[in-house]
Every structure is written in C-alpha cells, then in structure tokens.
Amino acid sequence: MKEIGRIQNISGDMVTIKGGEISACVGCSNSECKGNGNIFTAKNSLNLPIHEGQLVEVENKASTTFIQGLEVLLPPVVLFILGYILTGRFAPASSDDVRVGIGVAALFLGFFIMYWVKKLLPSSGAPQITRIVNDYSAAIAIEPMEQN
C-alpha cells in the first residue's frame, strides 16, 4: 500500500503523518480517510531531509502486513486449540460444548494478551517513508493529463 500524506510531527525517526488530504490513494475505498484524514506513524529509515508540513509518500509492504497479521491471529487460534484439547484430556467426561466454551475463552484470552503485547512492545513493521513529494508532482499523479 502506498499513500501520500502531510507530515504533522517529527520525533526522531518516527513521523506522524496525516493521509488522505489530497485523495492521493485513488484505489482505496476508505471514504472516512479521504474525508477526515487518517493520522498514522511512519518511520524515516532512509533519513530523508524532511520537515513538518511536507508531503511524503509512505509505503507499507504486503509481506510486513502479512507477518503482522500472523503475529496477531496465530497465538489466539493456538490457544483455542490447546484449550479444547487440554479440556478433553484433563476432564474426559466434559461435553463438546464445554470444550468449545473453554476454547473460546482461551481464544479471547489470547486476543487480550496479544493486544497488550503489541501495546507494550510495538512492532518494527511500521510503514516507511519512501520519498518526498512536492505539491506539483502530487497534483500530476492525481489528475492525469487529458489526451487530445
């Protein structure tokens, strides 16, 4: 995903960006982002000479998004399976409904744990600033020239 946004704040190599300002991400169907602007944090790993108020292009690679999805979804699913299996092993007289109930409780516990882990240990997969965009090139990219 690539998006063009305006820099709001710079704190070290982490930059707060407001996207959707100029409807730069044409393929996106998030109308709230285009109307209100989506504020997010990106990393300036290329050490570009940026300043507040400047337009920049930000990219979040699909592979990073996929890995982050696995990090969030895999532990709760594993806990569901473990909860279901261990309930049957330690309480063999329990019904299927009880096993599923324990599994679902473990699933919610897993999501709760992952929420706090991600809150306390932020992921290194933040979007990256890939280039500085001047206002003229952004306008050209958004409004293609008419052919005669």
Torsion-angle region of 71 (φ positive above 0: left; ψ -120 to 50: alpha; else: beta) = alpha
Domain membership flag for residue 148: no
Q: Check residue 24 and give its pLDDT.
A: 46
Nearest-10 crossing angle of helices 62-90, 96-120:
140
Q: Check residue 8 and give its pLDDT.
A: 92
How does pLDDT run across 17-57, given as a tens digit for each residue?
A: 988 765 545 555 555 555 556 888 888 888 889 989 899 99
Domain membership flag for residue 78: yes
How does pLDDT run across 55-112, given as a tens digit for each residue?
A: 999 888 888 889 888 988 999 999 999 999 999 999 999 999 999 999 999 999 999 9
Domain membership flag for residue 135: yes
Domain membership flag for residue 19: yes
Q: Say whether both 6 and 56 belong to one domain.
A: yes
Q: Say whether both 51 and 67 belong to one domain.
A: no
* Closest-CA residue to 25 (of 148, 127, 122): 127
Q: Say whether both 110 and 78 belong to one domain.
A: yes
Check: pTM over 0.75? Answer yes or no: no
Spatial contact of 65 and 58, defined as CB atoms under 8 Å apart: no
Arithmetic mean of pLDDT, 118-145:
69
Q: Say whether both 86 and 114 belong to one domain.
A: yes
Q: Check residue 29 and give its pLDDT.
A: 57
Q: How far is CA 131 from CA 23, 90, 105, 143, in A?
A: 17, 57, 45, 20
Q: Check residue 127 and give its pLDDT.
A: 86
> Strand pairing of 14-19 and 38-43?
antiparallel
Parent domain of 11: 2-60+125-142
Q: Say whether both 90 and 54 belong to one domain.
A: no
Q: Which is higher by pLDDT, 142 or 119?
A: 119
Q: Say whether both 73 and 107 belong to one domain.
A: yes
Specify the number of domains making up the chain: 2
Domain membership flag for residue 147: no
